[in-house]
Structure 1
């Protein structure tokens, strides 16, 4: 039981650190982030929504993970976000959009798309594992 709790809390911590770091990096280098978003295969009309929405979502999910009432929901949202980002990277790796820069922020931007794919897959796996352990914990205590 203690091992499960340690794994779950570690996953929460990793998501909080990663999303907070990514959002802060985007805001600290806001002009670069806007430029990178404009090079993505989205309509430029979506730029304001993306440049504010993505970091706000990352911070919001991080804050939700710190509150007992919302942390499981936040973990599910964070895992879903990572699944979406991972799917996008797979499309990039399949060359569906040509050459585009990473708009993730901070040191993550320096990763190759393959490295980024593995980074994201780690978080998808960690999120799914934590969700599974939480459900298993609930069923074993009922």
Structure 2
């Protein structure tokens, strides 16, 4: 019988995953809450976007729900892998959208950010999103190095 020895990440890796979780939870709870607290403005801003009104209407409900569900998934060890996957998807989507706005892909510049994020210009917002995207990627890689076990 052979035993497979699994290499555990150093404490720094575990700490990094914890910090990543905390920052993502903070971001998603904050952004969802700011959308819900200023619901009418959030809906108006979504309808000012470049996509059709039916999509904007659906996103008004889907975005805060996705952010809150993702934050919830990140709080439990049993659902952390799903939370990281959702975080990766959300941050990738937000980063692509912000990049498209920044590089004038759309005919006009919309705005739908709330709270402190509303004060950022598009360049700062893009850098912020990319930083969170990279944080999420690094946290996900470290998580899978720690959690995924070889069969055998």
Q: TM-score range by the shorter chain?
A: over 0.9
Change (3 A) 1:140 1:90: same
Write out per-residue CA displacement over residues 101-124 of structure 1, whole angstroms, 9 at most, x where no aligned residue: 321321111110100001001111
Aligned length: 142
Change (3 A) 1:91 1:21: same
More helix by share: 1
Please say if residues 79 and 123 of structure 1, whose CA atoms lie closer than 8 Å, have aligned partners that are also in contact.
Answer: no
Unaligned runs of 5+ in 2: 1-9
Q: CA deviation at 1:93?
A: 1.4
Q: Tell me whether 7-16 or 71-80 shows the greater mean CA deviation.
A: 71-80
Q: Tell me whether 90-99 or 22-31 shows the greater mean CA deviation.
A: 90-99
Counterpart among 17, 33, 40 of residue 31 in structure 1: 40
Counterpart among 6, 9, 22 of residue 15 in structure 2: 6
Alignment of 1:1-142 (within 5 A): 1-138=10-147
Unaligned runs of 5+ in 1: none
- Whole-Å separation in 2 of the counterparts to 1:5 and 1:133: 8
Q: CA deviation at 1:138?
A: 3.4
Structure 1: 4+ residue segments shifted above 4 A = 139-142
Please say if residues 47 and 57 of structure 2, whose CA atoms lie closer than 8 Å, have aligned partners that are also in contact.
Answer: no
Q: CA deviation at 1:139?
A: 5.8
RMSD value, Cα: 1.7
